[in-house]
Structure 1
């Protein structure tokens, strides 16, 4: 099983590790390492991108990162054919596209703030660098973009700590209200459930994504648009100001 270093420290930008396996598939080379700092696509958050640095000075682009079919490993997709000398046991360095990852972290934490100001079940969501979306099971159309933007930025400026903890699957079963998403449940059978807490009483729910350590790190944010996506489904699009 790939060791998820991004769960221990989401701010790691480089990591020396060892290749476990690599094979061609889908027109690209797929690489598995013993550990990784690359987040795999899932939970509405895109897979990380970056570079594979070899000991002989090559810099190979990593275009995407996903879980293997059995979710036991994390697969890095390489762009390029210059893989001579790379094989199981080879030492390499993983380097994140940190500017992209950090924007995704800021966006993902901002989406949790959205959950705190709209007290309704979550019907969908997607994290993106430029614009992210949160969808809620709400019927009313009486939402004010400017008011919601002010509320979001008040939570950002409050510099609330963002922390990670774990509960057992049984604890989650005993407290089903912790799951805000209607269509997606936390994966079972893989160990304890990872929880994200924002401040005290602001937001607390299962989440496997990467987050900033404090809401102040998000920076200014705004509600770009509010759209109806069904009779009782509203999409709130959010953007970072920088």
Structure 2
């Protein structure tokens, strides 16, 4: 997988770039700040501008290891462009993704290393995360809301680093999904997201620089999904 600009620079929302390849409805750029989606995180929204026009980003596709930006209709672009990320939507995804890491860390700690079986973030400021938790007490899960918000109030730093695939598989707790591991970069490295003093796990998405940049969190609902799956739905207060 290509290492994404946004993974190392989530706060940079505007970049100039060159068109490397173009066809009606799609363009391949020298670089861009957009997150194409994955790991339960929705793809960024954004705009591509060029001399004489602009168009919203319609989506993303990977072809032959190359990440193409999809454009509406049969728009075709050449030359120099500027790509800008929708800042409100990026912030929303960064908050939800960071908050899910906090919840994941607390469940992993308090429920015997329970693994994640599914994640989805939504544009309405809610998200859900599924855990392999047969027989878990829903009241214990619901009680984590207070500690979730305590972690937000502590404003813990969130940092990223990279380790080899061997290290990622060798360090207990880095890989939290029961069935899917984040794909390594072209250099064979796995990206690690660390919340100071709380959590350290492999992840490819965009996150906040510190937990205090998130709005308060509510645990909205806890559902039983099958014999062992427990689904926790969260939402950002005020949305």
Q: Is TM > 0.5 for Structure 1 vs Structure 2?
A: yes
Structure 1 residue 73 and structure 2 residue 66: aligned?
yes
| Separation of aligned partners in 2, 1:113 and 1:8 | 20
Q: Deviations over 1:141-182 (max 9, x none)?
A: 422365221111011111000000011112123225321100
> How many residues were matched structurally?
230
Give the counterpart of 2:42 among 42, 46, 49. Answer: 46
What SS does the aligned partner of 1:118 have? helix
Aligned to 1:134: 129
Let me know the Cα RMSD of the aligned residues.
1.8
Query: TM-score when scaled to structure 1?
Result: 0.89
Structure 1 residue 199 and structure 2 residue 196: aligned?
yes
| Separation of aligned partners in 2, 1:22 and 1:235 | 42
Structure 1 residue 117 and structure 2 residue 106: aligned?
yes
Give the counterpart of 2:212 among 200, 209, 216. Answer: 216
Conserved? CA contact 2:2–2:185, under 8 Å: no
Conserved? CA contact 1:3–1:36, under 8 Å: no
| Structure 2: 5+ residue stretches without partners | 109-113
Structure 1 residue 13 and structure 2 residue 13: aligned?
yes
Query: TM-score when scaled to structure 2?
Result: 0.90
| Separation of aligned partners in 2, 1:156 and 1:15 | 30
What SS does the aligned partner of 2:173 have? helix
* 4+ long deviations beyond 6 Å: none
| Separation of aligned partners in 2, 1:108 and 1:189 | 20
Deviation at 1:126, TM superposition (A): 1.2
Structure 1 residue 187 and structure 2 residue 208: aligned?
no
Aligned to 1:227: 223
Aligned to 1:166: 162
What SS does the aligned partner of 2:209 have? coil
